[in-house]
Amino acid sequence: MPERQVSQVSPDPTALKALAHPVRLRMLGLLRVDGPATASGLAARLGLNSGATSYHLRQLALHGFIEEAVGQGNRRDRWWRARHEVTSFLGEHVEGEALDAGLAFQQAALHWQMAQMQAAHDGYARLPTAWRKASSVSDYTIAMTPEAAAALIEQIQALMAQALASAPPLGTPLPPDHRPFSIILNAAPLATEQTEPDQP
């Protein structure tokens, strides 16, 4: 399959704060992965009432994360779709309000990622052999300089971006042998319980 353009958004701090709400983050994820949905459909999946769901959808639309799916539904039953496939945030030079908003969003995303990893663990025994072979729970700790670590992350992200651009877009009917496959990357200097020695 030829590579396609992957749509991406880099929200400003105000929009990122709005997205950091855990319910909105889950809604956007569902719209990205499963495709367009109505407020009532999302409410049923998330265990919310339709009023609260509609409010969160309006907030996502206000900040440009979703839009009405033109040609689907009617005046009573509006369908919504995600506008972008990827959210970019928390660059290395951000400070102040942008840093605070990025960290709040990262905390919400981390909470969702941990839930996803636990769900994958819980469902492993039910996976077909081929998907068990493709699954992994791995961690690597390597002594590196900041420059070498940044270069490694850039290589990994470039590989992920290429795989994403070569894959069928999520939220559309997938070929029979395809399913959404989640790869969660968490990279940072190792946090330990050791305290730093007193400086002279």
90-144 pLDDT, tens digit each:
888 899 999 999 999 999 999 999 999 999 999 999 999 999 999 999 999 999 9
Question: Number of C-alpha atoms within 13 angstroms, CB side, residue 68?
Answer: 11
User: Is residue 98 in a domain?
Assistant: yes
Whether pTM > 0.95 for this model: the answer is no
User: Is residue 1 in a domain?
Assistant: no
CATH code for the domain in which residue 35 is found: 1.10.10.10
User: Is residue 58 in a domain?
Assistant: yes
Question: What residues contact residue 186 under an 8 Å CB cut-off, 6+ apart?
Answer: 110, 113
Output the six-digit token pair for 90.
């928390």
Contact 118, 69 (CB under 8 A): no
User: Is residue 26 in a domain?
Assistant: yes
User: Is residue 95 in a domain?
Assistant: yes
**Range of 30's domain?**
8-166
User: Is residue 188 in a domain?
Assistant: no
pLDDT tens digit sequence for 42-84: 999 999 998 999 999 999 999 999 999 988 766 677 899 999 9
For the chain, the domain total comes to 1
CA distances from 143 to 137, 140, 185, 196 (A): 21, 10, 18, 18
User: Is residue 153 in a domain?
Assistant: yes
User: Is residue 189 in a domain?
Assistant: no
